[in-house]
Amino acid sequence: MESGYLVLPGLLPEALRERLAPEVDRWVDEGLRARSIAACADPLRHGPPPLLELELPAHGELLTHPPLLRTLTRLLGPDFVFHHLHSDRQDPGIPGKAWHHDCEPNDRSDPSLLMVHALHYLGGLDEKVGSLAVLPGSHLRTVGKSAFAHHGTGELPGEVVIDRLPPGSTVLLNSALFHTRRPAPEGPGRPRYFVDASYCQVGARWRPVKPYWRQMLARARELDLADGQWPELFAERHFTEYTGSEHARTEYTGTV
Ligand SMILES: O=C(O)CCC(=O)C(=O)O
């Protein structure tokens, strides 16, 4: 993944996709997504949501989908830890998301330790939903997440546009890779089912992005999502304490 990204068309089998979509609908329509955002944006006023994404059975399976974890093993080695999971159904006409990267710091400030985001497009990508553009090689710069935000969602020299993928496709990004979501071209559009999950190489302690991160990992262990096979995947020792909600402010505003 020298270019910083890897496209895995149709990684998710139809049976899994078909169970994921109604869970995403529930997550959005029952206000659970809004509650999880509130819990991150203002943890003193809002406790964790009554249900976590990974407690939805198909989302739990997606997190540890064996072909995904095998590919991650090739990229990260066998020892990596789950960082966080988001689930969303974006309305047609949703604005784009400006150029950014999503790499979180670790306490050794070691840029050689990798974090990877798996962007799952349950309905695929086509002209009816927004596209993803990536800037190959940009993960090699050590600059802030928003260093290219002044370009908005505009075209950058050397970019690669990913705008046609079959349902159930996944794009793996080195989390330090700059990318942008482009709005769908004019037209009727359709909802964009988007789930992203991230994973970090072990070897330092990573900054958590949700105040209830311990509870999230504990539930994943209780549910045995790792199926007894991935001892580090939900281990707390790979994280520093939660210190604030910079992530919530940026991640959920649609501007990052
Ligand atoms: O919506 C997309 O395709 C990408 C979203 C994104 O950039 C992100 O969640 O960080």
Higher pLDDT, 243 or 237: 237
pLDDT at 101 over 90: yes
Distance CA 84, CA 245 (A): 14
Q: For residue 253, report the distance from its CA to the centre of ligand 1, in Å.
A: 12
Least confident window among 21-30, 94-103, 133-142, 244-253: 244-253
- For residues 217-232, average pLDDT: 95
pLDDT bucket at 245, cuts 50 / 70 / 90:
low
Q: What is the pLDDT of residue 246?
A: 57
Secondary structure E strands in the chain: 5-8, 80-90, 97-100, 115-121, 131-134, 160-162, 169-174, 179-182, 192-201
| pLDDT tier at 146, thresholds 50, 70, 90 | very high
Amino acid at 117: H
CB 199 within 8 A of CB 116: yes
Residues listed for the chain = 256
Q: Residue 152: what pLDDT?
A: 96
Which atom of ligand 1 is nearest to 121's Cα?
3
Average pLDDT over residues 171-175: 98
- Give the distance (Å) from ligand 1 centre to CA of residue 96: 9
Complete DSSP assignment for 164-216 = -B-TTEEEEEETTS-EEEEPPPSS----EEEEEEEEEESSSPBPPSSTTHHHH
Q: What is the pLDDT of residue 250?
A: 52
- Going from the C-alpha of 194 to that of each of 108, 187, 238, the distances in angstroms are 32, 20, 26
- Among 144-148, 158-162, 237-241, the least confident range: 144-148
Give pTM, 2 decimals: 0.94
Separation of alpha carbons 9 and 168, rounded Å: 7
Q: Is pLDDT of 255 > 80?
A: no
Q: How far, CA to CA in Å, does 209 sit from each of 17, 77, 174, 240, 256?
A: 26, 23, 17, 10, 15
**Ligand 1 atom nearest to 102, measured from its CA:** 10
CB 66 within 8 A of CB 72: no
Point out the least confidently predicted range of 44-48, 73-77, 97-101: 44-48
- Return the ligand 1 atom nearest residue 180 CA: 7
pLDDT of residue 31 exceeding 60, the answer is yes
- Name the residue at shortest CA distance from atom 1 of ligand 1: 181
Atom nearest to 194 CA in ligand 1:
1
Res 20 pLDDT > 60 = yes
For each of the domains in the chain, give its residue range(s) and CATH number, in order of start: 5-251 (2.60.120.620)
Residue with the nearest Cα to atom 10 of ligand 1? 102
> Residues lining ligand 1, CB < 6 A?
97, 102, 119, 132, 179, 181, 194, 196
Least confident of 161-170, 184-193, 225-234: 184-193
